[in-house]
Structure 1
């Protein structure tokens, strides 16, 4: 290690955090321990599976800790025993008490998937699409006791494409976050970062998504429904009903064409898509999932001969 190399504890759990851990492993700094959520059952066999971050850490021979909580004194002593200069937190999933925030010499920093203070909280990537934001990015933040309220150390920006889903945006920001983290850690080691206090008046809370929220309200305008579909892809997936059964909508495009039909009524169906009347404009569904079936394009549904939709008659949301 060089004189400005840092001893780092990394705390993260899902795939989003893997990019940041990978980026740190490419630097001169030493990752001395990794913290991740406890293993949970996965797959059809419901066998315990390591988190993506844990799997990467084990590949590199890094000690892994998976406490249920960091609020007990024993867990805090173990963390302190690593004598870290810095703790990097990326989608970890556990709250860090003040004693943990104060343990590393340089404190704890977080890789946050939005341009703070715009979206604080659990679902900033999804809420940016849902709200119709034109850009987002990554903020490297010094952590404090409040929810994503700490001083900002470094920001990167990214335009949100018109067809962006939460999955595609997640992947872009995960990669961008890794690169931003490398810059921030190097600058912290040299003492060249200037913290910027967040303006609380500009903050919004990015509330967790729910399956109930993903139900489509066809009385809304088509542009909003399209944003919901993209924001809720890949989870919880926007849905509606047909004769009491659930249809999941994976991909669609808003259209300005007005219709005299009631919202939720099928306007037409052809190889270009399934058009549904909305409160304002119409929505052209490209990919959907019938009950008990896999997701299919509208073209494939038509080719299968199992078309359930009749123009001017079929009503969704019923």
Structure 2
């Protein structure tokens, strides 16, 4: 099949690589414009663009696909490129732009999306993070026929994947990316053969995975330890859960729930294997931490580089209420 592709991060690059390896012709890739990155803030191509250029695939990087918006010229150029590509189908994975109706209708088989959840649970921008944060036992990949709604289209294929007790957003995304690439190749074969089944999503069980913001990083130690531990894993690698200790912002990358009590945010144990902090319910042993401009360190190495004593307190974020709403 002739498969146009729209995607940006590594999760999407895995799918593009699988489609290419399966022998499908990819006449065009849409991806986000280059972004500044690294210490020099030089413009860097997305992983999808890098793969496309390495395999002589044409690339378009419109800032918008709206034909009546601020970047109309970009959208018009993208439309011309899509028409010239004459794709049978477009595969979309973590692209980052809303596809207007003219894009959805352009390929013969429309557009199919690789979505990292078991739809209709966790529609939206951050399904992996919100699934971990909510304590879900499993997630998965849904291959969905795209329509005008937000992740509301019929599901073509689905495969579940358990969420491990130590999974972070990074490790879980890695495993889901491999599943997504394999599953979308299967879906393309079924589309080509005309034997794909479309299953409408049920109305019950819909939840929304809102985009993760940097403003969510501060830890509210008044929350139960189990909830904070899940959030720490959900926010790894971005934005990283953090607390303010002695006026210094400390990233908390790894923790485990332990017995203990004290005022929320109070350091109740300083041990070689971790820093124990009291929470609203129970306590957390922080085992991997990071100071500003420093590296992630095991607790023992972190404690060698600065004095932390029992009775010290992590500050409580003023903007977060103790009964903060919890997704899911």
Q: TM-score range by the shorter chain?
A: over 0.9
In the alignment, does 2:315 pair up with 1:317?
A: yes
What are the within-5 Å matches in structure 2 for residues 251-270 of structure 1? 251-255=254-258, 257-259=259-261, 261-270=262-271
Counterpart Cα distance in 2 of 1:277 and 1:70: 49
The alignment partner of 1:100 has SS state of helix
Moved over 6 A (4+): none
Q: Distance in 1 between matches of 2:168 and 2:178?
A: 16
In the alignment, the residues of structure 1 paired with residue 271 and residue 201 of structure 2 have an alpha-carbon distance, to the nearest angstrom, of 50
Query: Is 1:229 the equivalent of 2:232?
Result: yes
CA distance in structure 1 between the aligned counterparts of 2:215 and 2:62, rounded to whole angstroms = 32
Match of 1:100 in 2: 103
User: Does residue 244 of structure 2 align to residue 241 of structure 1?
Assistant: yes
**Residues 46-81 of structure 1: CA distance to partner in whole angstroms, max 9, x if unpaired?**
222111101101111111111122223443232112
Q: 2:287 maps to what in 1?
A: 286
Q: Give 1:94 shift.
A: 1.2
CA distance in structure 2 between the partners assigned to 1:263 and 1:139 by the alignment:
40
User: Deviations along 1:179-226, whole A, 9 cap, x unmatched?
Assistant: 011111101111111101112331111011122212111111110000
Counterpart of 2:138 in structure 1 is 135
- For residues 251 and 300 of structure 2, what CA distance do their matches in structure 1 show? 16
1:53-68 equivalences in 2 (<5 Å): 53-68=48-63
Query: Does 2:77 align with 1:78?
Result: no
Q: How does 1:108-123 map to 2 (within 5 A)?
A: 108-123=111-126
Match of 1:9 among 4, 8, 17: 4
Question: Which segment drifts farther, 41-50 or 244-253?
Answer: 41-50
Does the 8 A contact of 2:290 with 2:302 survive in 1?
no
Pairing 1:195–2:203 present: no
Post-superposition Cα deviations, 1:80-128, rounded to whole Å, max 9, x if no partner, equal 1211110001111111111110010000000001111100111000000
- Could you state the TM-score of these two structures normalised by the residue count of structure 1? 0.94
In structure 1, distance between residues paired with 2:225 and 2:164: 17
Matches of 1:308 and 1:211, distance apart in 2:
28
Mapping 1:203-218, distance limit 5 Å:
203-218=206-221
For 1:186 and 1:95, how far apart are their aligned partners in 2? 26
Deviations 1:16-61 (Å, cap 9, x if unpaired)?
1011001001113211111111112222222221111011011111
SS of corresponding position for 1:30: coil
Query: What CA distance in whole angstroms lies between the structure 2 residues aligned with 1:208 and 1:316?
Result: 26
RMSD of aligned C-alpha atoms? 1.3
Task: Select the residue among 40, 43, 57 that pairs with 1:45.
Answer: 40
Partner of 2:15: 20
**Higher mean C-alpha displacement, 88-97 vs 131-140:** 88-97
- In the other structure, the counterpart of 1:36 is 31
Of 73, 86, 90, the match for 1:87 = 90
Q: Take 1:234 and 1:40, find their aligned partners in 2: how far apart are those partners?
A: 18
- Structure 1 unmatched runs, 5+: 1-5
CA distance change for structure 1 residues 157 and 49 in 2, over 3 Å: closer, same or farther? same
Tell me the distance in 1 between the aligned counterparts of 2:48 and 2:278: 44
> Aligned partners of 1:265 and 1:46: how far apart in 2?
38
Q: Distance in 2 between matches of 1:113 and 1:308?
A: 42
- Show the counterpart of 2:319: none
SS at match of 2:215: coil
